[in-house]
Structure 1
Amino acid sequence: MNPRDFRGTEGILYADDWLEDVQRSLELAEVPRGLWVTSAASQFFNIALTWYRTDPRASVRGISWEDFRKLFKEKFYPDVALTALEGQFASLEQGSSSVDEYAAEFFRLSRFVPSLVQDEGCKAQKFRRGLIHAVRTRTSGRRDATFEQILMEAQIAEEDFGLKPKKSSDVLGASSSAGPAKRPHPQQRQFQQQQPQMQFQQAPARAQQHQGRGQRPATQCTFCGKPGHTREVCRKRLGVCLYCGAPDHQLRDCHASGIRRDQDGVQQARGGQ
């Protein structure tokens, strides 16, 4: 177990990430559940440590992890911060982000407003309304459309518009191919990815690495150690599907992955005609 320190001054988003990181680390390390609270508290400093030492409800011997989580949230998730996050979620839009980046932020904020996303239809349409117009018009506006369906359609639309993240092997293959492959307009956003399940960087950052003699190191996640994305949008840290980013299933159960493979196969066949 090697979680981050928690001081109690970092804000609600950091506090929530920290709590989930600690629990995941404890589970992976197979720490006995009876030691979870003291193990987590060993990472407390400053305000957090003072709270733990002085609140008898938190430091009582034998407190369950579930009760500790409730007390932790009561202390470090103030109502004013929750209200602010509700406002951020209500006004959240894709903007200049990729579909996957927008989805990651959608998941992150939705954890604090469960009442707004408990209905699958409302959740799906809220996500759809925040997509940029070009992508949104390619997704289903039906009330019975699921979140997973709209996310998959948005990812496909992004790819069709030349905004889909590219695999590094695809980028290398395209650069060495003499075929009449279509190239997106220079002003369109392009992305790169190290692995299909990872988050992505914008291509301009990649292009800068090839300009001049000085090369800047690629972005690397400090949680999983993989390149091509940051800790804030790490799907492994968020506990969502590594393929499509949905929070209600894992990669092994992802229906979209099979659909996407079929979709990719069709597109490759068309390219070879």
Structure 2
Amino acid sequence: MVNTRRNNQGGEDLPPPPPITIEQLMMMQTQLLQQMAQSMQNIGKRNENAPPQLRAIERQLEISQCDDKEKVLYASRLLQGAALDWWDSFRFGYTEANPITWQEFRSAFRSHHEPAGLMKLKKKEFLALKQGSMSVVEYRDKFIQLSRYAPTEVEDDEKRQELFMEGLNDGLQYQLLSHTFASFQQLVDKAFVIENKRHQMEDKKRKF
């Protein structure tokens, strides 16, 4: 049986869209890689020594469905300035018979551009993070940003919720402690709802 879909006007059923061809997929990959290269060039123009944003590169490469060898090839071609100097030194000694894997590239790149001392400082900053004057959304963003420096501390959803809760202001903590949340996102959503309700109540008091 052929699947169909109904048009917006409620008329006759329309046939499903044709499958994506190999040529179309290759074109999509090319466009993604061009966008990625342009973004990296812009970074290089702002600061020649600034290392490329590896996480952004990884996302683009995943979307373009590159294999392990292609990831190393494309990512290395986008390096500029100090990052390119690092690459020229790092790849010395590797051959076609002993190529650099994507995991080796990622680990070495991060180790070079994120020294162990910096990692320790960022981890301490994360573990000491408090909401303070930040909104729930701002606190969440900062929490997620720093959490990558302490992967074992947030390796499961329960630990992530516990640390996030500890950093919230006392009033929010008090209202949330009596609840159990199925996920970290549900905890954040509930904290945001409570915060927003508080702001509404405070606005009413000021008007009166």
| Residue matched to 1:36 | 71
CA offset at residue 92 of structure 1?
0.7
Which residues of 2 match residues 167-182 of structure 1 at below 5 A?
none
Q: Aligned AA for 1:36?
A: K
Aligned partners of 2:122 and 2:149 also within 8 Å: yes
CA offset at residue 183 of structure 1?
7.6
Which residues of 2 match residues 92-171 of structure 1 at below 5 A?
92-140=129-177, 146-162=183-199
Distance of 1:69 and 1:58 partners within structure 2: 18
Distance of 2:187 and 2:127 partners within structure 1: 18
In the alignment, structure 1 residue 87 sits paired with structure 2 residue 124: yes
Which residues of 2 match residues 1-273 of structure 1 at below 5 A?
1=33, 2=36, 3-4=39-40, 5=43, 9-10=49-50, 18-56=53-91, 60-61=95-96, 62-140=99-177, 146-162=183-199, 184=203
Please state which structure has a larger fraction of its residues in helix: 2
Partner of 2:118: helix, strand, or coil? helix
> 1:82-124 deviations in whole A, cap 9, x for unaligned?
0110111011111222212211111111111012122543321
Q: 1:143 to 1:186 in 2, by over 3 A?
A: closer
> 1:171-192 deviations in whole A, cap 9, x for unaligned?
xxxxxxxxxxx782699xxxxx
Aligned partners of 2:49 and 2:80 also within 8 Å: no
Paired residues in the alignment total 164
Partner of 1:184: helix, strand, or coil? helix
Partner of 1:126: helix, strand, or coil? helix
CA offset at residue 54 of structure 1?
1.5
Q: 1:39 to 1:58 in 2, by over 3 A?
A: farther
> 1:225-245 deviations in whole A, cap 9, x for unaligned?
xxxxxxxxxxxxxxxxxxxxx
Structure number with greater CO (CA < 8 Å, separation at least 6) is: 2
- TM-score by length of structure 1 reads 0.51
Runs of at least 5 residues in structure 1 that lack an aligned partner in the other structure: 164-181, 188-273
Distance of 1:183 and 1:26 partners within structure 2: 47
Partner of 1:137: helix, strand, or coil? helix
Q: Aligned AA for 1:112?
A: Y
Runs of at least 5 residues in structure 2 that lack an aligned partner in the other structure: 1-32
Aligned partners of 1:89 and 1:110 also within 8 Å: yes
Q: 1:130 to 1:36 in 2, by over 3 A?
A: same
| Residue matched to 2:6 | none
Distance of 2:205 and 2:70 partners within structure 1: 55
Aligned partners of 2:172 and 2:194 also within 8 Å: yes
Q: Aligned AA for 1:79?
A: A
Q: 1:60 to 1:127 in 2, by over 3 A?
A: farther
Q: Aligned AA for 2:175?
A: R
